[in-house]
Structure 1
């Protein structure tokens, strides 16, 4: 992997998730965003369009889903994302469609980072609950 991707990968590993209420760990789920494809920062309007398209694709899957915010631990960067109860194979296809380098997968409460465009080193991050911050209201994404 090149240095830029390695740096992005480290940011992915160091992320936290903002939720307005806890998610059940009884069923596996993926966390996917459409923001900033291939790690390239887009204008907010472009990210919103991509997010709407992803939400339409998710609705067509007819599976439970919930909005979630993926963020740097210092909250300096945030991306609107979706927690959806699908298989890892389905999640890989969806993340690839939106040109994401990786997505998160939670199974039995364990958070993993799954690459989908480069490499194959799935990485276990740890207990999902340790990476969650429950907030009274999800923030608006403005960047």
Structure 2
């Protein structure tokens, strides 16, 4: 994968989301991962450790959350992520804490790509619900 800022931003705009339960289109929430900080691909073990740290941080904030997967359209790249009921500013801080280039933010079924570390403008990506695929179980990520 080409990791230039423009290439990564383009890939981020193509992301789809796997959930085991559908969410209300009226909810506002962030989608945050700890995987592959700054766009650098890490091992499954390293990503797993970062993911547990992120889950612990979300727990310490006392916020409702749900595990989910962010994935490329062809399913060749997947990242464990968390849908978190958090305001956008706090979500950006959390993304920065885990060295994420960007997070997603959903308001009234509108999906936004929001930069954390990248020098990019927030990008409205359209309706969130068409990008969601319901699965019985989240896939294991290697």
TM-score band w.r.t. shorter chain? over 0.9
Q: How much does 1:69 deviate? A: 0.1
TM-score (norm 2): 0.96
Q: CA deviation at 1:27?
A: 2.3
> Which residue of structure 1 aligns with residue 93 of structure 2?
93
- What is the alpha-carbon root mean square deviation over aligned residues? 1.0
Q: Whole-Å Cα distance in 2 between the matches of residues 35 and 86 of structure 1?
A: 19
1:141 aligned to 2:123?
no
Deviation at 1:122, TM superposition (A): 0.4
The aligned counterpart of 1:28 is 28
Residues 18-66 of structure 1: CA deviation (Å, up to 9, x unaligned): 0111012222100000000000000111000000000000001111100
Aligned residues: 140
The unaligned stretches of length 5 or more in structure 1 are: none
Q: Which runs of 5+ in 2 are unaligned?
A: none
Taking the aligned partners of 2:49 and 2:118, their CA distance within structure 1 comes to: 25
- Equivalent residue, structure 2, for 1:111: 111
- Give me the whole-angstrom Cα distance separating, in 2, the residues matched to 1:21 and 1:8: 28
Report runs of 4+ in structure 1 exceeding 3 Å deviation: none
**TM-score, normalised relative to structure 1:** 0.95
Aligned to 2:46: 46
